[in-house]
Amino acid sequence: MQPNIKQSLDIVSLVSIGQHPQSGRVRRAEQDGRAVELGMNLGGDNLTVLHAGDPQEQALRTYAGMGLSSMQVLNLDLQDDAVPALADYLQQLRPDIVLTGVRAESGESSGMVPYLLAEKLNWPVVARIADIVSVEDGVAEVMLALPRGQRRALKVALPFVASVDNAAPEARQSAYGPGIRAQIEPLAGVKEEDTVRSNWSEAKAKPRPKRLKVVKAKTAAERFKAATAKPQGEAGKVLKGVPAKEQAQEIFNLLLEEKVI
């Protein structure tokens, strides 16, 4: 659905470095790509794609490959807080709409950036939008993404910050050639160290413990039968006349195999 836009809009799409959930390789973040797609459909040539971080990061080229001629990057170090730099830049630029993903795919991934920016800019924030239907007389009609595919229309005055949900239009394919030819413009940003994150240590997430099968038995006989019955289609082991230590070791090994511990 093409949005009904009756005024020229200045739109900023904020992008981050994504991370593939299986391989861990850097990539274009899924939700940020949708924010760029929505910004391109709304703003056209008035779209500014902004990243806070390393201008040399090659993953940024995958955003540029969507058809962008240039991107702006606030040159920040890994330990710097991106929110003050982004807020300072947006206060100077004064765009009509700022689009972000709901949360980043790497780093802190708290999902707080849209709210912190809106607080610093004193703008309204709209969470999890699927589309911007129209903008007229300084008021935008946005479509919120609700569970189970439902939608809710909402009107919000410009300027505002919006986070883009996975229900928004999918980002177009990134082309290698245009991505390489696009100009990455590094900008000086306000540098404030993120003191909270600097004290953290990052590690790979551990799988959650697996729940054992719950037996809904009412009587003692049924509970005994469920505890001693051999599972259907699975290899079992019956221990008779075995020392308690070896029995405990077998139980421990089973819990490890089932990823309960």
The pLDDT tens digits for 118-129 are: 999 999 999 999
- pLDDT of 26 above 70: yes
On whether the CB atoms of residues 153 and 59 are closer than 8 A, the answer is no
With pLDDT > 70 as the criterion, what percentage of the chain qualifies? 90
Please tell me the predicted confidence (pLDDT) of residue 106: 83
Average pLDDT over all residues of the chain:
87
Alpha-carbon dihedral sign for residues 85, 89, 91, 97: negative
Partnered with residue 53 across adjacent β-strands are 75
Residue burial 39-67, b: 16+ Cβ < 10 Å; e: rest:
bbbbbeeebbbbbbbbbeeebbbbbbbbe
Domains located in the chain, CATH noted? 4-198 (3.40.50.620), 206-261 (no CATH)
On whether the CB atoms of residues 3 and 43 are closer than 8 A, the answer is no
**pLDDT tens readout for residues 79-99:** 889 999 999 999 999 999 999
